[in-house]
Structure 1
Amino acid sequence: MPYGRSAGPFASFWLAVAAIGCAGERPSQPEGWDSAVALRPARDLDARPGVLEVDLTARVEDVEIVAGKRTPTWTYNGGLPGPLLRARVGDRVIVHLRNELPAPTTVHWHGVRLPAEMDGAPGHSQPETPSGGGFTYDFVVPDAGLYWYHPHVDSAVQAGNGLYGPLLVEDPDEPAALGDELVLVLSDITVREDGSLEDPEAGGNLGTLFGREGDILLVNGRVNPVIGARAGLRQRWRIVNAAKSRYYQLLITDHRFTRIGGDGGLLEHPVEEDRILLTPGERADVLVTPRGAPGATLSVRWVPYDRGYGATFGRPEVEAFRLRLADEPLAEGDPLPAIARGIEALDTAAARRVDLQLTREEGPGDLVMGINGVPSWEAEPLVAAVGETAVWTVENTMEFDHPFHLHGFFFQVLGADGQPVRPLAWKDTVNVPVDGAARFAVRYDNRPGMWMFHCHILDHADAGMMGMLQVVR
């Protein structure tokens, strides 16, 4: 039972919850504090408890990204980002996809441990859904955490044009005192002077090599929104980096963050950090307590992250969003519960080794990337057995970092000594640094099928830095 709710590493244990209650009314965030970043909820078509059933239509819609301009954006249900799907652990999720785009598409449920036939990998788990066609995704969400959905057909183009959205799976056993919650979808996009989207092939091979970043930062589809806050009152930010290439590194001057979770839900224990760093595809669950003078505005800044050659050269910091403090005195918020989660380290004593190199080919023509020197369209799948444990070593031979994503399974990141990195955490995306390697341990639970792995700089995946894992009984 490697991922069970009541036993094993996926059981959550709250060691202590501070009692809440004091004389007088509990202080609260300012009225309308989250209105600037409010996400559209998905409309549930099924009134039964334990079932979330929604319609999801992929279509081109004119969206005002830049004030005064209408941009034909690829959307789910007409908005950017797609609607927030909110479920609870163990719920059945049914999504009826309707494709009204001028191209085939699929939906990949990033991070969710679902059956392979629901994973949205075209040609492996399902055929492409053609323009005018539909497909119904039907699966159970077994794990709490923030996940997200996006296409896996021409991923860089379709996600870059706006196709992505969040899926939040709640744990009913979590205490309510963690903080006032926001789901924040970080992304970027480029809009031309006439309001149209940038050419997805802009920059040619150099654009592919670097990874095409949009020049407009978006938070829940908005440009530099203002979130209300009250000094001293904790907020809980559930963040996903849905950008196709951009690494998001966020700072607030004179503030620290308490990271309590990531890709696969809560960490073994919280950690204090002075910044939030998310590669494309990663998630973070962080607590922040704003402080400052009444009426002050705090800048949440995107800070360039050095992911390789030229990644930071001449690039200024950019304000991603702001926190505006209410014109009220410092509040005394609820005490932070003592949080811990029991995660058992995977036993790697008899683990199979998987050694991969992230590579690119030199020569004329279009840039071709690959794994072990082979682009995805020529590669044979790796083969593994249900119940097997493996240790993957992913080596980077290029001059840029790469976020490496494995579909369908959580893993534990290992240090150079082969021991799990602390605090223990379940991951599905890990950064592979320049001139370095990422190592992780994974156990294949009973979900046979074909599973993708790839660089989550989507330009790189489309250029061939992708492979398949066939898990058999």
Structure 2
Amino acid sequence: MTRKMGLGFGVGCVALALVGCSGEESKDSAVEATFDIPEVMEVEPMEGPFETVIADDVDPAENVVAVVLEAKPATVKIADGIEVEMWTYNGVFPGPQISAKVGDTVRVTLKNSLPESTTIHWHGVRVPAAMDGVPTLQSPIGVGEEFVYEFVVPDAGTFWYHPHIRSDEQVERGLVGTIVVRGNDEPETTTDRVFVLDDLLLNAEGQLAPFEVQQAMVGRQGNLVVVNGKANPIVAMEPGGLHRFRFVNAANARYFRLKLDGRSLTQIASDGGLLESPQTIEEILLVPGERAEVVVTADSQEGEMLTWKSGVYDRGHGTGAAPEVVLFQSKTMGEAVVNPPAIPSSLRVIDKLGEPIIQRTLKLEESMGNMGEGGHAGHQGHGSGSGTMVMEPTFSFNGKTWPDGEQFVGKLTTVEEWILDNTTEMDHPFHLHGFRFQVTDNHGETPTFAAWRDTINVKAKQTTTLRVLLEDHPGQWMFHCHILEHAERGMMGHLDVTAP
């Protein structure tokens, strides 16, 4: 299922077929919908520059971070001999990392040099509604235009930014970047680095493959996995040091089941920042849009390489047939660290949310009911159709599809309980804009530790219950599946938060 990467590219696949929604032949229809899960190509470990570019702060004020981003096409080197035409921020993939402190004002000027309109959504950052980058509240930034986003960052953590218009294509083309906000109580580590996990679907010429309707059911999965825009990079770790890994899943649809050569990991943070205390784990499942932070002590011998992998995970519709994938290598090298920092036993206090004043239920649903042309012509009119008629899926909350999706109304300062009932045959990563939540029941189990989140996996045919505090920022807020093909095809709604 995996292959060595040579000079040529092929898109090998596991082909799956659906007839109707059950996989059984229908007496009323001979139309068969097929979709592919690409084989991931193996790449030899690659040394060289690895870390994300840090954005230049053009404002000298101590508590202001001012950044200029230009969304533009660029040629990006992914590995030796592999250069891909992509859309980027400032010509790099992933885009520049914006670094700030809690309480800073962040001001980002976005210049649009793309061939189409775009926006920026600040995933996980609690910003005013007008700054959230969604087309219901912000007019898309046209070709040649610019827009200034400005907001105060209230929470420490690892967040990211990406478009929220035609996001299934624009994100896949490379428009992703990170924003790291540090607090006063950050644990001391030897290194503190961001790892953006992503994948690309390349054609036989080594360029981005066409966007097609057939990719929509499972979401577009790539045949090349990249970390910080590089294929199988080597990351140096000083011997004896305590190293912090901030992971971001920026992929359209791929789930990353992270593990390190049979070793345990120590998780210290989730979507919403630090946990209450470190948690020893064997692996961590990172769904699209989700973030997590772990620390690792470099106790290997000088020159030894450890392999980070993504294990097999079946999220439905045959995705479990794909084997594990190599992500990157960590290599113990350099000068040994004397008196390395220790992992603190306590990180912070997370107060449990109180009883909710209202309970809502969201039924996650899918259907293969629409006929459309291949080549993406059936989806909001972009891309060029192949002329082949295929079954195009739709996705919904409570039977309603965006833009006529489910609409809730809530009150500031109140606690709500949301029951996410996944009626479909596959997992869906649920993301809520503007607010953070706590999971109280996950597929029939109570979470073993408290955490703030904005993205959570809801397993197929299972239910997840969460509580959300509408603590700030009135306005309209999106919630959606973060398999971007699903969100763009209907699995999106909004919450209208008003003053109490």
TM range (shorter): 0.7 to 0.9
The one-letter amino acid paired with 2:56 is R
Measured in 1, the distance between the counterparts of 2:144 and 2:273 equals 36
1:330, distance to aligned residue in structure 2 (A): 9.5
In 1, are the aligned partners of 2:241 and 2:336 still within 8 Å (CA)? no
Partner residue of 2:252 out of 244, 260, 263: 244
Aligned with 1:374: secondary structure?
A: coil
Measured in 2, the distance between the counterparts of 1:335 and 1:341 equals 16
Measured in 2, the distance between the counterparts of 1:335 and 1:393 equals 39
Q: Which residue of 1 aligns with 2:305?
A: 297
Measured in 2, the distance between the counterparts of 1:157 and 1:416 equals 31
Partner residue of 1:288 out of 296, 317, 333: 296
Partner residue of 1:465 out of 477, 481, 491: 491
1:332, distance to aligned residue in structure 2 (A): 6.0
Moved more, 449-458 or 357-366: 357-366
Measured in 1, the distance between the counterparts of 2:206 and 2:64 equals 40
Measured in 2, the distance between the counterparts of 1:273 and 1:419 equals 17
Measured in 2, the distance between the counterparts of 1:175 and 1:161 equals 35
In 2, are the aligned partners of 1:294 and 1:329 still within 8 Å (CA)? no
1:436, distance to aligned residue in structure 2 (A): 0.2
Measured in 2, the distance between the counterparts of 1:460 and 1:347 equals 32
Measured in 2, the distance between the counterparts of 1:181 and 1:438 equals 32
Partner residue of 1:182 out of 193, 197, 200: 193
Say yes or no: does 1:98 pair with 2:111: yes
Q: Which residue of 2 aligns with 1:336?
A: 343
In 2, are the aligned partners of 1:179 and 1:287 still within 8 Å (CA)? no
> What TM-score, normalized to structure 1?
0.88
The one-letter amino acid paired with 2:347 is A
The one-letter amino acid paired with 2:492 is M
Partner residue of 1:136 out of 140, 148, 165: 148
Say yes or no: does 1:196 pair with 2:207: yes
In 2, are the aligned partners of 1:345 and 1:420 still within 8 Å (CA)? no
Aligned with 1:338: secondary structure?
A: coil
Say yes or no: does 1:306 pair with 2:314: yes
Measured in 2, the distance between the counterparts of 1:436 and 1:67 equals 43
If asked which structure has higher relative contact order (CA below 8 Å, sep 6+), I would say 1
| Alpha-carbon distance change, 70 to 35 in structure 1, aligned in 2, over 3 angstroms | closer
1:327, distance to aligned residue in structure 2 (A): 7.7
In 2, are the aligned partners of 1:261 and 1:284 still within 8 Å (CA)? yes
Moved more, 61-70 or 75-84: 61-70
1:367, distance to aligned residue in structure 2 (A): 1.5
Aligned with 2:69: secondary structure?
A: strand
The one-letter amino acid paired with 2:157 is G
Partner residue of 1:434 out of 451, 460, 478: 460
Say yes or no: does 1:316 pair with 2:323: yes
1:50-199 map, 5 Å:
50-122=63-135, 124-176=136-188, 178-199=189-210
Moved more, 295-304 or 270-279: 295-304
The one-letter amino acid paired with 1:326 is M
Moved more, 415-424 or 38-47: 415-424
Measured in 1, the distance between the counterparts of 2:416 and 2:64 equals 34
| Alpha-carbon distance change, 57 to 253 in structure 1, aligned in 2, over 3 angstroms | same
In 1, are the aligned partners of 2:369 and 2:394 still within 8 Å (CA)? no
1:194, distance to aligned residue in structure 2 (A): 2.1
Aligned with 1:70: secondary structure?
A: strand
Q: Which residue of 2 aligns with 1:23?
A: none
1:337, distance to aligned residue in structure 2 (A): 2.5
1:463, distance to aligned residue in structure 2 (A): 0.9
The one-letter amino acid paired with 2:88 is T
| Alpha-carbon distance change, 389 to 311 in structure 1, aligned in 2, over 3 angstroms | same
Say yes or no: does 1:267 pair with 2:275: yes
Say yes or no: does 1:49 pair with 2:56: no
For residues 110-130 of structure 1, give each alpha carbon's deviation from its aligned partner in whole angstroms, at most 9, with x where no partner exists: 0001100000011x2211111
Aligned with 2:244: secondary structure?
A: strand
Moved more, 398-407 or 316-325: 316-325
Q: Which residue of 2 aligns with 1:15?
A: none
Aligned Cα root-mean-square deviation (Å): 2.0
The one-letter amino acid paired with 1:358 is L
For residues 72-117 of structure 1, give each alpha carbon's deviation from its aligned partner in whole angstroms, at most 9, with x where no partner exists: 1010011000001000000000000111111111000000011000
1:420, distance to aligned residue in structure 2 (A): 6.4
Measured in 1, the distance between the counterparts of 2:116 and 2:187 equals 44
The one-letter amino acid paired with 2:49 is A
The number of equivalent residue pairs is 434
In 1, are the aligned partners of 2:276 and 2:451 still within 8 Å (CA)? yes
In 1, are the aligned partners of 2:370 and 2:394 still within 8 Å (CA)? no
Measured in 1, the distance between the counterparts of 2:313 and 2:493 equals 27
The one-letter amino acid paired with 1:301 is K
| Alpha-carbon distance change, 298 to 419 in structure 1, aligned in 2, over 3 angstroms | closer
Partner residue of 2:51 out of 28, 38, 55: 38
Structure 2: which 5+ residue stretches go unaligned? 1-46, 372-391
Measured in 2, the distance between the counterparts of 1:155 and 1:449 equals 22
| Alpha-carbon distance change, 259 to 47 in structure 1, aligned in 2, over 3 angstroms | same
1:376-387 map, 5 Å:
376-387=402-413
Measured in 1, the distance between the counterparts of 2:315 and 2:244 equals 28
In 2, are the aligned partners of 1:405 and 1:429 still within 8 Å (CA)? yes
Flag the structure with higher strand content: 2
Moved more, 53-62 or 63-72: 63-72
The one-letter amino acid paired with 1:341 is R
Say yes or no: does 1:211 pair with 2:219: yes
Moved more, 224-233 or 264-273: 224-233
The one-letter amino acid paired with 2:350 is I
1:309, distance to aligned residue in structure 2 (A): 2.9
Aligned with 1:268: secondary structure?
A: strand
Measured in 2, the distance between the counterparts of 1:434 and 1:336 equals 36
Q: Which residue of 1 aligns with 2:428?
A: 402
The one-letter amino acid paired with 1:185 is V
